[in-house]
Amino acid sequence: MKNGIMRPGHVQIRVLDIDEALEHYCGLLGLIEVDRDDQGRVYLKAWTEVDKYSVILTLADDPGMDFMGFKVTDETSLEKLHRDLLDHGVNVDVIPENELVDCGRRLRFISPSGHTFELYVDKKCTGKWGIEELNPEAWPRGLKGMRVQRFDHCLLYGDELDATLDLFVNVLGFYLTEQVLSDDDSRIAQFLSLSNKAHDIAFIFHPEKGRFHHASFHLETWEDILRAADLISMTNTAIDIGPTRHGLTHGKTIYFFDPSGNRNEVFCGGDYSYPDHPPITWKSDQLGKAIFYHDREVNERFLTVLT
């Protein structure tokens, strides 16, 4: 939390059919619908999250990610980040308070990779869903599907990875936890953290800017991942790969698709990191093992299906 950014706060995902999307994100993943707005957007949260929402679904003609937001500690830090972005040559738009329901003003900018990000301080705190703050139970009754615990990170595809790394490390205060280098030592994948998580955001090189690979949600145990795999089969949900383990981060994982073609991940475990840890490096000739540690090869769909 070097520059005041605490954590991922929300992601807005474009879907082709709201009802189908809600059946997927609420019925299968287990997110909880908390609000709707006059633009038709639907707001969802995972049960452990204290802020009102972390996922916004919006109806569109093509799937993908509109933006990802990060929560900042206070207005002083937000103002400094605003100045630092401008000094870095980044254009910043100020989105007014309550343009997103119960969210304060947001600073919106585009990374060199072509993705849209936001920084904000205020969002209504509603507490964990179904859990009291005084003498809380272990988990709430009435959860559905996979019972995901939180929105955790996004993996994004785009170009200009070096410039994107510079922005995220030297302006926003992230640090590099893991990377994949090509034979000539150019970086083709970078995993960045604000905390002691393995990553809060990740980028993989792609010649086209602004592509969305997946939004990831946290589960507690390997048994939860296996149960998620069962639910994917029970609901005939399109699967990408898994259950398996990553080499990168060493997390246990399964990938699948929402009805609009957006990829989701649920994962558990994985490495921890601190800012003083040197970044872990994989070479591109070991990319298969880095991404899918057990299979040791990458399926074509994982590399090419993007929204």
Active site residues: 153, 199, 214, 246, 255, 265
Phi, psi of 256 (to 5 degrees): -155, 175
What six digits make up the tokens of 208? 């086209």
How many other C-beta atoms can be found within 10 angstroms of the C-beta atom of residue 244? 16
Nearest alpha carbon to residue 258 among 19, 20, 9:
20
Quote the CA–CA distance of 158 and 205 in Å, as a whole number. 5
Quote the CA–CA distance of 232 and 19 in Å, as a whole number. 18
What letter would DSSP give residue 300?
Answer: H
What six digits make up the tokens of 134? 């005084």
Quote the CA–CA distance of 113 and 164 in Å, as a whole number. 6
Cα angle value 68/116/25 (rounded, 5°):
35
Quote the CA–CA distance of 103 and 230 in Å, as a whole number. 36
Question: Read out DSSP for 49-114?
Answer: --BS-SEEEEE-SS-EEEEEEEEES-HHHHHHHHHHHHHTT---EEEPTTSSTTB--EEEEE-TTS
Quote the CA–CA distance of 123 and 108 in Å, as a whole number. 16
> Which spans in 167-293 are helix H?
222-234, 287-291
Tell me if 179 sits within 8 A of 126, measured CB to CB.
no
Nearest alpha carbon to residue 112 among 169, 174, 159, 64:
159
